[in-house]
Amino acid sequence: MFKLESQSFGLDISDLSLKIIKLEKDGEGLKLSSFGETRIPSGIIKGGEIKDIENLAKIIKKGLKQVKGKRIRTKYVISSLPEEKSFLDILQIPVMNEEEIENAVRFEAENYIPLKLDDVYFDFEKIQPISKQKKYQEILIAATPKHIVDPYFKALEQAGLRPIALEIESLAIVRSLIKKNTSTGPLLIIDFGETRTSFIIFFGKSLRFTSTIPISSQALTENISKNLKISYEKAEKLKKKEGLEGKKEIFEAIIPPLTDLAEQIKTCLKYYRSHAPKDQTLTDKRKLERILLCGGGANLKGLVGFLSSTLKVKVELSNPWINILKETVKEVPELSFEKSLAYTSALGLALRNYD
């Protein structure tokens, strides 16, 4: 098994694109072995739900043939599941031995997951405490409906692949962005994608909260296209070139959804502030004062400055190579830092192989 697994690659399946990353050992460390991105025509996946298994399988096959770097010879893949269709939560249970945990977690999970356990694929793991605690332990539970997951399995198998794990995207993001999976203060990760934005709050050794909102980088392009009466393609180019720092008419086109985004981030921060104190393990009620951005949309010029001045919180671009390369290195010759931000989930999925 170990041998097979050491061959696997990461496949991030989004509504409109799939991204492939394969890493390989390089002395003590790791290096990039293969990577690639392939577009998915709209309608094949909608909001993380696969509508057309056959065509997705074909696109995956095509994507595999087109990778840059080394050819991918393995069938073994670690692929993503959509955050917006999944449930992640944290349970607190009394300290008990390993055998008792599973029953206790299953019993408790019924109260947390808004679906019948029979209708979901369910998994859990113990969260390592950040401070000494005696009375109870924390368990991260994850569930995705079977009717969402099964088509992913089918598409991967039809593409000739063997999924060794399917992982909810936020878990992959955290693996790639949080150095050694530990953060002494709470932080908010924002994945600003083409079709949606995800929030992930991480503290200690686990993510604590996730949610997805429909604000998207695509919406910025659509606004430019509409306001300036130009094609989507031209608008996309202008968005990347100008961002918030260029022409006034571009700024004006994209500022409404970004203001909306800032409001939603505020709501998320407020939610955390009101819930964190109830979280008994987090005895030091440190404020959430740091935001990390990832996803292709994070590259928008002026976004970091806009969010930090609006939210009065430290906002930075994340480093998806932090657990792969030396800390000071944020890109490789083949994959620029800008591109790497869009590969955050794929890098995290590929890294799972080396956990």
Binding site for Mg ion (CB under 5 A): 14, 193
Question: Which residue, 258 or 347, is less far from Mg ion as judged by CB?
Answer: 347
240 contributes a contact to ligand ATP by CB under 6 A: yes
Residue 217 binding target from Mg ion, ligand ATP, none, CB below 5 to 8 Å by type? ligand ATP
Question: In the set 10, 36, 145, 296, which binds ligand ATP (CB under 6 A)?
Answer: 296
Q: Is 16 among the residues that bind ligand ATP (CB under 6 A)?
A: yes
SS3 at position 116: coil
75 binds, among Mg ion, ligand ATP, none (CB under 5 to 8 A by kind): none
If contact means CB under 5 to 8 A according to the sort of partner, which of ligand ATP, Mg ion, none does residue 319 touch?
none
- Examine residue 146 and tell whether it contacts ligand ATP (CB under 6 A): no
CB of residue 240 to Mg ion, shortest distance in Å: 17
CA separation for the pair 146, 165 (Å, rounded): 15
Contact pick of 15, 138, 167, 242 for ligand ATP (by CB under 6 A): 15
Strands 76-81 and 87-94: unpaired
Q: How far apart, in Å, are the Cα atoms of 223 and each of 218, 230, 265, 338?
A: 9, 10, 21, 23
State the binding partner of 22 from ligand ATP, Mg ion, none, CB within 5 to 8 A by kind: none
Residue closer to ligand ATP, measured from CB, 17 or 137 = 17
- Tell me the one-letter amino acid at 39: R
Q: Does 342 bind ligand ATP (CB under 6 A)?
A: yes
3-class SS at 334? coil
Quick one: 69 or 257, whose CB is closer to ligand ATP? Answer: 257
CB 341 within 8 A of CB 295: yes
| Binding-site partner at residue 297 among Mg ion, ligand ATP, none, CB < 5 to 8 Å by type | ligand ATP
Task: Determine if 33 is a binding residue for ligand ATP (CB under 6 A).
Answer: no
Strands 29-39 and 68-69, how do they pair?
antiparallel
CA distances from 233 to 42, 177, 228, 240 (A): 15, 31, 12, 11
Site for ligand ATP in 193-222 (CB under 6 A): 193-196, 216-218
8 Å CB contact between 302 and 243: yes
Distance between CA atoms of residues 318 and 244, nearest Å: 19
| Pairwise CA distance, residues 92 & 138, whole Å | 5
247 binds, options Mg ion, ligand ATP, none, Cβ within 5 to 8 A by partner type: none
First-residue to last-residue Cα distance in the chain: 14
- Residue type present at position 225: S
Number of residues that bind ligand ATP (CB under 6 A): 22
Q: Which residues of this protein are in contact with ligand ATP, per CB under 6 A?
A: 14-17, 193-196, 216-218, 236, 239-240, 243, 295-297, 299-300, 338, 342
